Amino acid sequence: LNVGGDDFYIDLLFYNLNLRCYVVIELKTGEFKPEFAGQLNFYLSAVNEILKHDEDNPSIGLLLCKSKNNLVAEYALKDMSKPMGVSEYTITKSLPEELEKQLPSVEDIESRIKK
C-alpha cells in the first residue's frame, strides 16, 4: 500500500462479500503490544481512503498475536473508533479432525497440480 510515496505492507488483506468491506489482518509472532493497534489503525485509514468505494462499509481490522494481556489490549483499543479486535492464535502440529475431513490431502493437491 503506497501512502505519501512510502510503501507499507499489510500482512493479509481480504474483501468480505457478505459484509461488503475490506478486512485487514496483522499477524504478530509475539505478545500484543499497544503500538500494534496504532499500526492497524493506520492501515485501516489508508485502506478506507485508497481502496474502499463509496458503497463499501468501513474496513475491519484484526490483530492475531501469539499471546496478549487482556487489560493492555482493552486499553490500547479503548478510544479507537475503527472496528478492530485482538485475538490469540495457537500453533498445532496437526489439523483438528473436523478440518482435516474438509480439506484435501497433500496427495490430492499434488495429483491435481500434475494434471
Q: Which domains does the chain have, with CATH numbers?
A: 2-114 (3.30.750)
In the chain, % of residues over pLDDT 90: 70
pLDDT at 103: 85
Whether residue 115 has pLDDT greater than 80 = no
Cα–Cα nearest to 63, from 27, 23, 21: 27
- Grid cell, residue 115, equals 494434471
More confident residue, 26 or 89: 26
The span from the CA of 113 to the CA of 82, in Å, is 41
Phi, psi of 86 (to 5 degrees): -125, 135
- What is the band of 99 on the pLDDT scale with cuts at 50, 70, 90? confident
Please, is 96 exposed, middle or buried when counting C-beta atoms within 10 Å of its C-beta (0-12, 13-18, 19+)?
exposed
pTM, 2 dp = 0.78
